[in-house]
Amino acid sequence: MTEGLKEDGILIVNTSMSPEEVRQITGFRTGKVFTVDASHIAIEEMGREITNTPMLGAFARATGLFDLDALEHQVREWFGEKVSPSVVEANVRVLRRAARNCGRDERITFHVLRFTFYVSRFTDNVMSET
């Protein structure tokens, strides 16, 4: 799970485990570890285990690279007329809930200078708006 991750990297895991439990299992001791139960959040809010949007919320919280309001705007724009308004609102809820519930192992306080992470294509639009 951590192969190729830099020592000062950020590990974001979709799990009900705590960041400390993930550290014990993975042996990742130096960087930041965030956990969020994106599967549970998606099932509760959307009725389906679609974890892309909640993981995007966790990514925003973990990295600070994206403003949640800008992401919410982009989610609304991205889904717009493609899906029903209730599906759009469910995606906004999971984005924000995952960001709120993203747990961090507070004993690590590294400042991350570089971080590479692949996320959905609409994040490129968010970066160009900020």
Q: Which CATH class is domain 10-103?
A: alpha beta
Mean pLDDT, all residues of the chain:
82
β strands within 15-110, DSSP E? 32-36, 103-104
Q: Cα separation of 63 and 8, whole Å?
A: 12
pLDDT band at 122 (very low <50, low <70, confident <90, very high): very low
Q: Cα separation of 74 and 33, whole Å?
A: 26
Q: Is the pLDDT of residue 62 over 50?
A: yes
Q: Is the pLDDT of residue 130 over 80?
A: no
Residue ranges per structural domain of the chain: 10-103
For residue 70, give every residue at least 6 positions away whose Cβ sits within 8 Å of its Cβ, in sequence order, or none: 126, 129, 130
User: Terminus-to-terminus CA distance in the chain, angstroms?
Assistant: 31
Where is average pLDDT lowest: 3-7, 90-94, 98-102?
A: 3-7
**Residue pair 39/59 in contact by the 8 Å Cβ criterion:** no
Q: Cα separation of 71 and 85, whole Å?
A: 17
- pTM confidence score: 0.78
* pLDDT average, residue stretch 38-56: 96
Report percent pLDDT > 70 for the chain.
Answer: 80
Considering Cα of 66, then 67, then 72, then 73, what sign does the dihedral take?
A: negative
Q: Cα separation of 59 and 55, whole Å?
A: 6
Output the six-digit token pair for 22: 């993930």
Q: Is the pLDDT of residue 107 over 50?
A: no
What residues form DSSP beta bridges with 78? none
pLDDT band at 105 (very low <50, low <70, confident <90, very high): low
